Structure 1
Amino acid sequence: MTFPSRRRAIGAAAVLAAGLAGASALPARASSASSGGNAVPLRRAHAHNDYEHDRPLHDALAHGFTSVEADIWLRDGQLLVAHDEWELDPSRTLEALYLDPLLARVRANHGRVYQGYEVSLQLLIDIKNTGEATYRELSRRLRPYHALFSKAIGGRVHTRAVTAVISGDRAARGPMEAERIRHTFYDGRLDDLLAAPPAPASFIPLISSNWNTSFTWQGIGPMPAAERELLRRITGTAHARGQRVRFWATPDQPGPAREAVWRELVAADVDHLNTDDLAGLAAFLRADDPDAEAP
């Protein structure tokens, strides 16, 4: 299959099957936690730059988000969470903001992020510097949490409470592919969807793309027919390969233009809608997406 050369950005993410590991398999360090309320999970809701909210992770889960994004930097042997290097704070580690709270929540919810729902939370980890070295450190630091994370062995995926997808610096791909047992998955790009043969969904569960690389429409007036057809061709190709679709840099200012783009994304069955406005997207999906809720 070919796509117009000026549009080389196909966002896709592999189908992350439902199912969670039992709480008894989790380390004892997560001895106390709240289940985080009774929000109904929203299968399309992705918290872009989640760590910039007042309560990283917790605010997204309170709104029912099923995918959250954390940018990490390797600094002095620690994995610190921030968008820009000047914002690095040694207290804001990946463990403190995400891994330990998730572990505690899953124990409290008997093996699930959302009690009563068979949904695996996608933790999109964006590597900001020294891709290979950062990934190796990340892989090492995930070991105490292995019971929490989905894994791939020989092309077979075993889904657990959280699925870690690695984005950002592309140098991480080499050491990931070399792992015999992986507790991470790779965030691909349009070229990965177009590759012949394509990498399997068991390795690339998510191919993310910049909306503005593929589309000119920003929600003003009707979406051009050719762009609507391209969007649906992208999602159709990804879904046929067992992958999911996500675009970043979609309009995110409240108003009719943003909602028009979101409606087209839902109509095309795009899997993850990207936002910094947790309440805004949650309200939109509950009102306008007939398939909003996760199973």
Structure 2
Amino acid sequence: MGVNPAGSTRDMTSRILATLFAPALLASLALSAPAAATTGAAPEPVVALQQAHAHNDYEHQRPLLDALDHGFTSVEADVWLVDGELLVAHDLADVQPGRTLESLYLEPLAKIVADNGGTVHPGFDGTFQLLIDVKSAARPTYDAIHAALAAHEEIITRFQHGARKQRAVDAVISGNRDLAFMSSQKKRFAGYDGRLGDLGSGLSSDVMPLVSDNWTRHFTWQGVGPMPAAERAELEAIVAQAHAAGYRVRFWATPDAALPNREAVWQALRNAGVDHINTDDLAGLQAFLSS
């Protein structure tokens, strides 16, 4: 059989090209295979963090959702009653149509709870706190909040005739609030956020489940150097008294810049058993509580 010079040339060229480009092709396949596998893999489950509270949560790019993705079990929304709508913003000048308590929090929570079989965080045996900080007049704003919560009673804990019906979400009212009216309601969908001065009030934890206060009004320590022994003892006494009455504890105005003193304060709060650690830095607190 004769030899075809053209065929031999083509074969040789093919072998040369294969030799030159095969390593690159294999490398490309090696790099793309894990990416494909990763794309099809289930995402890592989020670990719910009992003490993580998102202060001014609505200021994040995705209100509620960013906090949930970081394992937070408590979020805070400031509300203004404007023309019958509960608009979410820190200042009245910043309210925007459509950014309502319903659209940013209640509707998404209802869907999440339904999708997760009755809980906000799958596998988490605690409740999720929605802290609603009332910025406008107490009574009319609360009436609107009560109606909004009642429309989602399948997910909101309620209190009726002295009994508590636990649901996935505990709503708590902070800011401008009317304790006398809330205490008198026969059917209620939210608790009252007290202050440290209320610790000896004898209020039921069904009425006042949470006690919050400004850190700087009670403590001088900002995380630099050791915590003064007297202040540490005071913090522990506050938590012990609150827990004995069934109240949870939260402080705002703690250091929140990403500096070592912030973590020193967080550690002191964690050690003392403070129930909700306040932050605007979702990733920072998640990393701290996960360590």
TM-score range, shorter chain: 0.7 to 0.9
Partner SS for 2:120: coil
Report whether the alignment pairs 1:179 with 2:181.
Answer: no
Match of 1:213 in 2: 217
TM-score (norm 2): 0.83
Report whether the alignment pairs 1:191 with 2:197.
Answer: yes
Residues 150 and 37 of structure 1, relative CA distance in 2, 3 Å threshold = farther
Once the two structures are superposed, residues 52-103 of structure 1 have per-residue CA deviations (whole angstroms, 9 ceiling, x without a partner) of 0000000000000000000000000000000001000011010000000000
Code of the residue aligned with 2:238 in structure 1: it is I
Match of 1:153 in 2: 160
Structure 1 CA distance for aligned equivalents of residues 161 and 231 of structure 2: 38
Structure 2 CA distance for aligned equivalents of residues 155 and 270 of structure 1: 27
**Which of 163, 167, 181 does residue 170 from structure 2 map onto?**
163
Tell me, yes or no, if the aligned pair for 1:122 and 1:162 is still in contact at 8 Å. Answer: yes
Residues 102 and 37 of structure 1, relative CA distance in 2, 3 Å threshold = farther
Paired-residue identity, %: 54
**Which of 40, 43, 49 does residue 50 from structure 2 map onto?**
43
Query: What RMSD, in angstroms, separates the aligned Cα atoms of the two structures?
Result: 1.2
Once the two structures are superposed, residues 172-211 of structure 1 have per-residue CA deviations (whole angstroms, 9 ceiling, x without a partner) of 323312210111111001121033xx11111000010100
Code of the residue aligned with 2:129 in structure 1: it is Q
Deviation at 1:38, TM superposition (A): 2.5
Deviation at 1:129, TM superposition (A): 0.8
Once the two structures are superposed, residues 124-145 of structure 1 have per-residue CA deviations (whole angstroms, 9 ceiling, x without a partner) of 0000011111001111122210
TM-score (norm 1): 0.82
**Which of 61, 65, 72 does residue 54 from structure 1 map onto?**
61
Structure 2 CA distance for aligned equivalents of residues 242 and 121 of structure 1: 17
Match of 1:63 in 2: 70
Match of 1:84 in 2: 91
Report whether the alignment pairs 1:142 with 2:146.
Answer: no
Residues 81 and 37 of structure 1, relative CA distance in 2, 3 Å threshold = farther
Residue correspondence of structure 1 range 208-247 to structure 2 within 5 A: 208-247=212-251
Match of 1:292 in 2: none
**Which of 118, 124, 146 does residue 117 from structure 1 map onto?**
124
Greater mean deviation of Cα atoms: 151-160 or 277-286: 151-160
Structure 1 CA distance for aligned equivalents of residues 232 and 122 of structure 2: 37
Structure 1 CA distance for aligned equivalents of residues 239 and 44 of structure 2: 33
Partner SS for 2:251: strand
Deviation at 1:37, TM superposition (A): 7.3
* Number of corresponding residues: 249
Structure 2 CA distance for aligned equivalents of residues 117 and 282 of structure 1: 16
Larger helix proportion, structure 1 or 2?
A: 2
Structure 1, unmatched stretches of 5+, are 1-35, 288-295
Find runs of 4+ consecutive structure 1 residues off by over 4 angstroms: none
Code of the residue aligned with 2:198 in structure 1: it is D
Tell me, yes or no, if the aligned pair for 1:189 and 1:207 is still in contact at 8 Å. Answer: yes
Structure 1 CA distance for aligned equivalents of residues 228 and 161 of structure 2: 43
Partner SS for 1:194: coil
Code of the residue aligned with 1:143 in structure 2: it is A
Deviation at 1:149, TM superposition (A): 0.5
Structure 2 CA distance for aligned equivalents of residues 215 and 86 of structure 1: 32
Deviation at 1:159, TM superposition (A): 1.5
Tell me, yes or no, if the aligned pair for 1:186 and 1:205 is still in contact at 8 Å. Answer: yes
Match of 2:18 in 1: none
Partner SS for 1:145: coil
